Amino acid sequence: QVQLVQSGSELKRPGASVKVSCKASGYSFTSYALNWVRQAPGQGLEWMGWISTNTRNAAYAQGFTGRFVFSLDTSVSTAYLQINSLKAEDTAVYYCARAMISDYWGQGTLVTVSS
């Protein structure tokens, strides 16, 4: 069965970096793009962008350029979200989701940024 399993919660200081992983199984990893979605505490869903698992091309929504980086390791069917120079307002749950229609989602990774 299709699964996206994300890495565990992270507590980081402002200015640090974090790398969230999303490991896919149960399907051909390079057949579907992956989206990244943010959900701040008590807030709605915010689409961050997506990465083609075939071409490795990434597109970022406004507000997620510069400090946010999507990457892949196709040898282990894993996508990564790296956030640099963390700020308190980056505190959120981050989700990966498969394909244009986001038919499968990871369980989410809580990133907490606090001094």
Report residue 1 CA to chain centroid gap.
21
- Helix H, strand E, coil C: the string for 42-81 is CCCCEEEEEECCCCCCEEECCCCCCCEEEEEEHHHCEEEE
Please report how close the Cβ of residue 45 comes to another protein at its closest, in angstroms. 4
Per DSSP, 4 falls in state: E
Q: Which residue's CB is nearer to another protein, number 66 or number 115? A: 66
Q: What number of residues does the chain have?
A: 115
Binding site for another protein (CB under 8 A): 35, 37, 44-47, 49-50, 59, 61-62, 95, 97, 100-108
**Shortest CB 85 distance to another protein, Å:** 22
Beta carbons of 113 and 92 less than 8 angstroms apart:
no
Residue 68 or 104: the one with the smaller Cβ distance to another protein is 104
Min CB(72)–another protein separation in Å: 19
Nearest-approach distance from CB 70 to another protein, in angstroms: 14
Closest CB to another protein among 18 and 106?
106
